[in-house]
Structure 1
Amino acid sequence: MENPSAAREPAREVRIDHRQVRVLAHPLRMRLLGALRIKGPSTATRLAELLGTNTGATSYHLRQLAEVGLVVEDPDLGTGRQRFWRAAHDVTNWEPSDFDDDPDARAAIEWIEGDQVRWFRQHAEHWFAVRHKYSPAWRDSLGMGDIFMTVPPDRLAALTAELWRVLERFHGEADPAEPGAEQVQIYLAAFPMLADMRLADPMSEEDR
């Protein structure tokens, strides 16, 4: 039996290309890929139930994702006419400049990034509504913080890369069977302080 606490293989990553990003920029396809990554392999019928849609829609969009290699069929789980699908990768990577030469792909990645921000807002608002149900330990561990700094782009890129290495190390060491463990989503973001936004932030870590 595999030891769940043993070191895991590195996350399967994909640097999405122009065709993949255009296919992925769709609300249901984003949700399907996310559900397969979080919940594991599933059928179109189960995904339809989970996402509140119909099997015809999930089947169609799963095939669209499969055509560009973002999901794959899992033959080991399928029985007869029942087809199981799984995410082909654990992590999707890109740089905004990857799509500078393709207006359609650039528009698609901008939509995807906007959708991530919309999801973050919904996620945060839902957490604020239910956090009183969690223990003090969880309430003190979860949440947000920020810090201001003045750096050139190469230093910011180095900082981001180092933070990702820390996140990947903790991800690889995570043991779902550990008592009290729950699935969490960690966001990493960096934005410039634009001229019309350079006001003191009362929630800044520097001011606490």
Structure 2
Amino acid sequence: MPDTPGTDRQPPRQVQLNARQVRVLAHPLRMRLLGTLRVDGPATATALADKLDTNTGATSYHLRQLAEVGLVAEDPDLGTGRQRWWRALHDISNFEATEFDDDPDARAAARWIEANHVQLMAEQAQRWMAAAEDQSREWRDAASLSDMVLTLSPARLRALNDELWQVVMRYHDEPPSDGPDAQQVHIFLSAFPRVEGRR
């Protein structure tokens, strides 16, 4: 793929997860390892263990499991001697849960990944709310937690999600903000049918 016009940034590397990858990824530490490598860049098992408050043996084992299905890989350019560095092979993981309707194990793994993602969204929002009073007014005014209920068909919901994702990717593809107040920002998108009160 060519560079994004007007920037030095490569388009995000994406992977459409298959059943085996979904089954391997459905593990709390593996999700955290992959997420940390994507956000913070390459690291050793020791550095990851320190950051994630676990032990090097566990991080090494689970990194190898992720590597077996092509989600992470050793980075030979950074390794020195016995030190092994790991990097994420993709920036974005996608899957359609319905692709696993005929595979009970993969379907259960996909459900677990989705539930873990919801938990992560809640945890990150709670961390922000706990720290918000110590942040500048500009950040507090810019941050947003909101919701809305619309009446849509499945096709319109898919179109809405696709359009919102295009907006997020447009911002992703722009050169990163380099001002003194720039920070990494969590963006969570979720839209699903309302089931409250349905029988």
TM-score after normalising by structure 2: 0.93
Query: How many aligned residue pairs are there?
Result: 193
Deviation at 1:124, TM superposition (A): 1.3
Deviation at 1:101, TM superposition (A): 1.1
**Cα distance in 2 between the residues matched to 1:182 and 1:105:** 36
**Cα distance in 2 between the residues matched to 1:111 and 1:63:** 21
The runs of 5 or more residues in structure 2 that have no matched partner are 1-5
**Cα distance in 1 between the residues matched to 2:159 and 2:181:** 33
User: What is the correspondence of 1:14-33 to structure 2 with a 5 Å cutoff?
Assistant: 14-33=15-34
Q: Partner of 1:178 in structure 2?
A: 179
Q: Give me the CA root mean square deviation.
A: 1.3
Q: Partner of 2:73 in structure 1?
A: 72
**Cα distance in 1 between the residues matched to 2:148 and 2:8:** 33
Deviation at 1:177, TM superposition (A): 2.4
**Gap change, CA 1:54 and 1:181, over 3 Å in 2:** same
Q: Partner of 1:106 in structure 2?
A: 107
Deviation at 1:159, TM superposition (A): 1.1
Q: Write the deviation string for residues 163-205 of structure 1: whole angstroms up to 9, x where unpaired.
A: 11110010111414233110011000112122517xxxxxxxx
Q: Partner of 2:145 in structure 1?
A: 144
**Gap change, CA 1:195 and 1:54, over 3 Å in 2:** closer
Q: Partner of 2:195 in structure 1?
A: 194
**Gap change, CA 1:59 and 1:152, over 3 Å in 2:** same
Q: Partner of 1:166 in structure 2?
A: 167
Alignment check: 8 A CA contact 1:7 1:172 kept: no
**Cα distance in 2 between the residues matched to 1:72 and 1:28:** 16
User: Structure 1: which 4+ aligned runs deviate by more than 3 Å?
Assistant: none
Deviation at 1:6, TM superposition (A): 2.4
Q: Partner of 1:203 in structure 2?
A: none
Deviation at 1:25, TM superposition (A): 0.4
Alignment check: 8 A CA contact 2:17 2:93 kept: yes
What residue identity is the alignment partner of 1:177?
D
